[in-house]
Amino acid sequence: MGFQWGFRPDSGGEALLMRLSTRRIITATLGVALLAGPAVATASAAPDASAARSDSGRNDAALRQAMSDMVAGGVAGVQVRVHDDQGDWAASAGVRELGGDRRPPTDGRFRIGSVTKTFVATVVLQLVSEGRVGLDTPVDRYLPGLLPAGDRTTVRMILQHTSGLYSYSDDLPIGEGATQIKPEFLRVRFRHFDPEQLVGMATAKPLLFEPGSQWSYSDTNYIVAGLLIKAVTGRAWGTEVTGRIIRPLGLHGTSVPGDDPTLPWPNVRGYAQLDGAAVDVTELNPSMAGAAGSMISTTADVNRFFGALLGGTKTLQGRALLAPAQLAEMRRTRPVAEGVDFGLGILRITTPCGTAIWGHTGGIPGYATTAFTTADGRRQTTISVTTNKNPQSGSETRMLFASFCP
């Protein structure tokens, strides 16, 4: 289980994305749906009136059809926002809350899960640029004794998931898929988890492989990255993300909640499946995800972040998020499947029309997020789904690809 897709490097690009959506537990994916239950709104998915334009780089009809398919399949709600040189195209479908009839607000806040990892990796790379962290320096240099193989596990391995660390999130009380929970989850959903405790859950298990020799997605890596940021700066990772990214970019709908279980307004309710019933899991203690997946944001803010990161947009402080050398390091990838490559806190996939897009997915019970941008940072798409069941139709994958392919 994890605050991510459960990547399996044995399938090709589009097929992989569709199948990965069945392997998430506090996970984000490109495929989710809600079990039939309380009334769900009709499948209409009209975009904001202020943004109802089309252009040759996007298939609006396919976007709307995919949204309709998701709602028809039982998804509680979905928000989609595409940003390009012409502005924003934003739409929502389904309902904000089960049993209601209001559509999800297109500016609604949601938990972004593992998209958090790209923010955290950006801060670590900023510290590399400042000469305070070395990518190929062992983690023991900054966090002595934390990891059993910390003397041969480098910062790069942590950011790229080649450390061999077991993913602690596989031991949390979440069922098969990010959209399901076990009864034990209700007893721990408001409990505080120290990051050292989460790392300890992982290091109690043997390494999956010798550090650097293979690739395996592990949420533990980014709990370690959060601790590294604190060790180097003297401040919590969330404080650094806020000061270095959120405020400079003016991401007013984005926050690092710490132990706060609430979701700021406007928001959309999130659900998970327990014994065949939809349970409202909007409120939970995000410390169970920490630097691996606890942040809150909006579709507009996530798009702005990825556009600035890849496009080199200057922040309010007059500089890009990453210097060219560190952005190049982030984009140094290793293949994990046909058409899917993983960098430092970011992944690259190739769409059916041949466009390479960069981004991440993320989720936590009740919420699944998909966020990608073109390599030049000129077009971004963020999809947020509130749901508790994985659909098999691949409609969310089609939605993503339609936003980048005419």
pLDDT tens per residue across span 326-368: 999 999 999 998 888 999 999 999 999 999 999 999 988 999 9
Domain of 105, in residue numbers: 13-404
Distances 275 to 93, 263, 272, 283 between C-alpha atoms, Å? 26, 25, 10, 19
**What is the reported pLDDT for 68?**
87
Domain annotation covers residue 62: yes
Contacts of 158 (CB under 8 A, 6+ apart): 139, 221, 222, 224, 225, 228
Of 1-10, 124-133, 151-160, 246-255, the least confident: 1-10
pLDDT at 109 over 70: yes
For tokens 């601790």, what's the residue? 227
Residue 373 host element (H or E): strand 367-374
pLDDT in tens, 126-166: 999 999 999 999 999 999 999 999 999 999 999 999 999 99
Alpha carbons 290 and 286: distance in angstroms, whole number: 6
For residue 208, the 8-state DSSP code is S
Contacts of 170 (CB under 8 A, 6+ apart): 1, 2, 25
**What is the reported pLDDT for 390?**
56
pLDDT in tens, 80-108: 999 998 899 999 999 999 999 999 999 99
pTM: 0.89
**What is the reported pLDDT for 355?**
92
Alpha carbons 66 and 80: distance in angstroms, whole number: 11
pLDDT at 170 over 50: yes
CATH number at residue 27: 3.40.710.10
Q: For 163-287, where are the alpha helices, taking DSSP H only?
A: 183-188, 195-203, 220-233, 237-241, 247-249
How many alpha carbons fall within 13 Å on the CB side of residue 164?
18
Q: Which residue has the higher pLDDT, 281 or 54?
A: 281
By residue count, the chain amounts to 406
Alpha carbons 11 and 9: distance in angstroms, whole number: 6
Please say whether the beta carbons of 73 and 393 come within 8 A: yes
The mean per-residue pLDDT over the stretch 57-74 comes to 84
Q: Which of 21, 68, 92, 114 is an active site residue?
A: 114
The mean per-residue pLDDT over the stretch 242-252 comes to 97
How many alpha carbons fall within 13 Å on the CB side of residue 405?
15
pLDDT at 7 over 80: no
Domain annotation covers residue 8: no
Alpha carbons 95 and 73: distance in angstroms, whole number: 13
Domain annotation covers residue 3: no
Residue 311 host element (H or E): helix 299-311
The structural domain count of the chain equals: 1
Q: Can 129 be counted among the known catalytic residues? A: no
Give the whole-number percent of the chain exceeding pLDDT 90. 69
pLDDT in tens, 9-65: 333 444 444 333 323 322 333 322 222 222 222 233 444 433 434 454 778 888 888
The mean per-residue pLDDT over the stretch 211-234 comes to 98
Residue 66 host element (H or E): helix 60-72
The average confidence (pLDDT) of the chain is: 85
Please say whether the beta carbons of 95 and 253 come within 8 A: no
Give the alpha-carbon dihedral of 13, 311, 123, 239, to 10 degrees. Answer: -110
Alpha carbons 394 and 16: distance in angstroms, whole number: 11
Angle 89-86-406 (CA atoms, 0-180°, nearest 5)? Answer: 70
Q: What are phi and psi for residue 378, nearest 5 degrees? A: -95, -20
Domain annotation covers residue 5: no
**What is the reported pLDDT for 175?**
64
Token digits of residue 135:
């990518």
Alpha carbons 393 and 159: distance in angstroms, whole number: 32
pLDDT at 216 over 60: yes
Token digits of residue 66:
């995919």
pLDDT at 311 over 90: yes
**What is the reported pLDDT for 180?**
83
**What is the reported pLDDT for 395?**
77
The winner for highest mean pLDDT among 33-42, 240-249, 385-394 is 240-249
